[in-house]
Amino acid sequence: MGVIRVKVMRKVKMSITLKNRLADLDKIKAVVSKLSGTIDCTRRKLKEIDLILEELFANVVHHGFKDNREHDIDISLSCDDDILEIRMEDDGEPFDITASPAPDTRCALDKRGIGGLGIHFVKHFIDDCKYYREKNKNIIVLKKNMAEKPHKKNDSK
């Protein structure tokens, strides 16, 4: 007799508004921690979500704004069955994540740049990615399947 695992997966929606300062990363960590108590997923998946959110946020904080003003960055997470949708909005410089080139991770060490890795990580750990520019805002909508895949994703390029 196999063990029947009862999955509790409710519809979940959370949103936070952050400022364009790295200290607000703590708020992301708090939301991911809250998510862990709400949806049924592995610690590993939570680390991947943590990474996706940190890289998106850090990227817009580092590169999104040319002025020195405070800006809002809105992030919402919604989970319906096994699909987690991440939506981020900011009023920074236009940045189309879907058009961002992958870094050359196989070149010689001396030529190896240190940029572009964060977005590369995001793309590796998500299953669908859409970008819109509306009313001077960047809107990124990502989807991630939270169910454990039978095989490890083989995309190390």
Partner 1 sequence: MEIFQENVNGVEIFIVKGSLDSNTSPEFESRIYASLENGQKRLVLNLEDLEYISSAGIRVMLKTTKDLKHMDGNIVLCSLQDYVKEVFDIAGLDGYLCIEKNLDEALLKI
Which positions lie near partner 1, rule CB under 8 A?
A: 22-23, 25-26, 44, 47-48, 50-51, 54-55, 58, 103, 105-106, 109-110, 112, 114, 117-118, 120-121, 124, 155-156
Q: 107-142: string of b/e by CB count within 10 Å (b at 16+)?
A: eeeeeeeeeeebbbbbbebbeebebeeeeeebebeb
Least separation in angstroms between residue 136's CB and partner 1 is 26
- Measured from the CB atom, the residue of 14 and 116 that comes closer to partner 1 is 116
- Measured from the CB atom, the residue of 25 and 141 that comes closer to partner 1 is 25
* Cβ 53 vs Cβ 32: under 8 Å: yes
Extended beta strands in 20-156, E state? 72-80, 83-90, 128-134, 137-145
Least separation in angstroms between residue 134's CB and partner 1 is 27
Least separation in angstroms between residue 126's CB and partner 1 is 13
Least separation in angstroms between residue 32's CB and partner 1 is 10
Which has the closest alpha carbon to 10: 44, 49, 46, 40?
A: 40
- Measured from the CB atom, the residue of 51 and 83 that comes closer to partner 1 is 51
Residues with Cβ within 8 Å of 9's Cβ and at least 6 positions away in sequence, in order, are 39, 40, 79, 81, 82
- Measured from the CB atom, the residue of 136 and 156 that comes closer to partner 1 is 156
- Measured from the CB atom, the residue of 48 and 89 that comes closer to partner 1 is 48
Least separation in angstroms between residue 23's CB and partner 1 is 7
